[in-house]
Amino acid sequence: MSSNDRLTRWVQEVARHCQPDRIHWCDGSKKEYDRLMVEMVARGSAIPLRKRPNSFLFRSHPSDVARVEDRTFISTPSRDDAGPTNNWVAPDELKATMWALYEGCMRGRTMYVIPFSMGPLESPMAKIGVEITDSPYVVCNMEIMTRVGTRVLQAIEEGADFIPCLHSVGAPLAPGQDDVPWPCAPMEQKYISHFPQENLIWSYGSGYGGNALLGKKCLALRIASAMARREGWMAEHMLILRLVSPEGRQYHIAAAFPSACGKTNLAMIQPTIPGWRAETLGDDIAWMKIGPDGRLYAINPESGFFGVAPGTSYKSNPAAMDTLCGNVIFTNCALTDDGDIWWEQMTDEPPAHLIDWRGEDWTPERDKPAAHPNARFTAPTSQCPLISSDWEKPEGVPIDIFIFGGRRATVVPLVHEAYDWDHGVFLGATAASETTAANIGAVGNLRRDPFAMKPFCGYNMGDYFQHWFDMGDRLGDKAPRIFYVNWFRKSPEGRWLWPGYGENSRVLKWMCERVDGKVEALDTPIGRMPRMDDLNLTGLDIPPEDLRELMRVDVEAWRAEANDIEKHFAQFGDRLPKRLERQLRQFQIRLG
C-alpha cells in the first residue's frame, strides 16, 4: 500500500473495476523476481534455460508478436493535435470503450502495482511511473527495463508526481479455468492508448513488448515527447554512445534509426581503428535537456536492453552476445536440444534440430524461421561489457553529434553531413527506411520514418519538427552537428557495399574530425561528404568501383526522392514549419 492519496485512490478504483483476485505491490527485489519466475515455470509460461543461469524462454501467442501500430492511439481533444501520422480517437469515446473492456478483466489473476523510475531517481531528468498490470511476465521485464522498487514508492509518498499506466492482457479466468501460457485478447480488442494532456497510458489485450511494458515506448517516447515539448526538452528514439580517441578525447553521439536497423549494434560498437574505443550509454531512448553551460545533455532513461535477437551474433555484436550470458528473458527464440536458445544468424550453421518459437519441431529443411523475426531479449544494461561508468550519471553526457539513418539498398550514400541545424532537421524529417519485421506491414517497402519517431511521437509531427527548430534556436552555436548514414547500400547486383559492424567506426571517426575541424568536406546537393583520402579505409579490401558506388550521389534518383518528400510534407498541411518548406526548396535548387 501507499500513503499517497492519489496513488491509493487510483489503485483502489482499478481494483474495484478490474476485479483481480489479489493485489501485489512490487518491491523490485530479486526475491520477488525469482518467485514470479518459479510461478511462471510451474504454469508452463517460462522455460528455464540450462545453458544460461537465471534465464528463461517465453513463447507468445502468434497474434501477439510485435508492436501493433494500427491499434496504437494518441487521444487528444482535437484530431489535429494528434496529427496525420497517429491513430486518433476522442478521449471520452476511447475511455468509454476501454473502460468497458477493463470491467472484470483481471478476474482470476493477481493485480501487480509496479512503481518505476525512468532514469536514475536522483537525476533531474528522471520521470516516475506506476504501472498496474495482471501479467507477471510484464513485472519481470519491467524490473529489468526500469528501476522498480520501494525507493520509487517512497519518492511518490514524499510528493513526487507519477504517470499512471494501466495494463491488462484482457483474459479473465473463470473459477477453476486453467490459464494458457500466453494470455492475450483478440486483435480487434487490443488497444495501446495514450492521453498526452493527462500524462496517462491505458493498454489492453497485448502482453508483448512495448505494448505491455509501458515504460518502454509508451512513456519514454509517446508521453515523454509531449511532456518534453511542453517543458522544453527532448525525448528521442536514439542510442547514446561515447567514442574515445587515442588521445583520450571523448565524443558523445546520439543516433536515431528505425527498429532493426542496427541501433543496438552501433550502441555496442567495437571500433576496428587502432587506438579508438567506444563505451555504451544506451541503445534505444535518449532524454535530453540543455545544461547550465548551454550544451545538450542526454541520459538513457532505461536500465535494460529490449533488443531484436535475430541477426545478433559474435560477428555482428560480440558485446551484446556477452551481455546475454545470464539473467535474461528471451521471447520467441528457438530452443536447442541441450537447453539453450538460438535464432537466425546467431551461428553460421543452424542446429540439426530445434523447437521453434511456436513450440514445434524444426529442422533446417523447414521453410519457416526457427525464431520469430522479431524475437527479443531483455537483459540488464549493467551486464554489457562496454557499458560506460557514466551511464547512470544524473546530469547526463553532453551530445556532440546527432546521426540519422535507415536501411536503404540504393540512392543514399554511406554518409553525409548537414550544412547547418535547419538542414539537419530536414534530414531527420525526411528519414526513410525499408521496413523490417519489427514494423507492421510488408517487409522491404520504403517508409518515411521522420527522426525514427513516426510510431512514437505523442502529438502532431509537424509541431514536433517545429520543436526541433526551437531547440536549435536555444542551443545556437552549441548545437550538436548532424549527419546521415546508410550502412545498407547494395551494388546493382545486390552485394553489400560496406562491411558494417565495427568498421562503422571509420565513419564515426570522420564525423569526430569534422566536429574538431580537422578535415574538410565536399559540398554536394544532399550535404557535405568525405573526401576519399579523409575516410580511413586502411586494412579494408573494398574495390574502387564499390567505393564509388557507395559514395555516389545520383541526382536523378534524388530528384525523385525530392518529389516523394514533397508528398510526405504535404500531409502536415499548415502544421509543417515554413523552415522545412524552405529547406525543400533549397534542396531542389541544389539538385538543379
Amino acid at site 556: E
C-alpha to C-alpha distance for 427 and 587, rounded to whole angstroms: 11
Q: Give the DSSP H or E segment for 422.
A: helix 421-429
* Amino acid identity, position 75: S
DSSP string spanning 221-239? IIIHHHHHHHHT-EEES-E
Closest by CA position to 172, among listed 96, 103, 94: 103
- Return the percent helix, strand and coil in the chain, to nearest 5: 35, 20, 45
Residues designated as active site: 261
Cell numbers for 43: 504454469
Within a 10 A sphere around the Cβ of 380, how many other Cβ atoms? 17
The position carrying cell 498541411 is 573
List beta partners, residue 407.
none
β-pairing, 239-244 vs 200-204, is unpaired
Sequence-ordered strand ranges (E) for 431-511: 432-434, 446-448, 481-485
Our separate counts of H helices and E strands in the chain read: 16, 31
Counting Cα atoms < 13 Å in the Cβ hemisphere of 292 gives: 2
Name the grid cell of 384.
Answer: 554489457
Placement of cell 567514442 in the chain: 243
Sheet strands side by side (includes 329-331): 46-48, 56-58, 329-331, 376-380, 304-308
Which residues, other chains included, contact 478 with Cβ-Cβ below 8 Å and sequence gap of 6+? 293, 294, 295, 296
Give, as one character, the DSSP assignment of residue 87.
B
Query: Which uninterrupted H or E stretch holds 256?
Result: strand 250-256
- The residue among 192, 155, 227 whose CA lies nearest residue 459 is 227
Asked if residues 18 and 102 have their Cβ atoms less than 8 Å apart, the reply is yes
**Alpha-carbon span 264 to 90, nearest angstrom:** 36
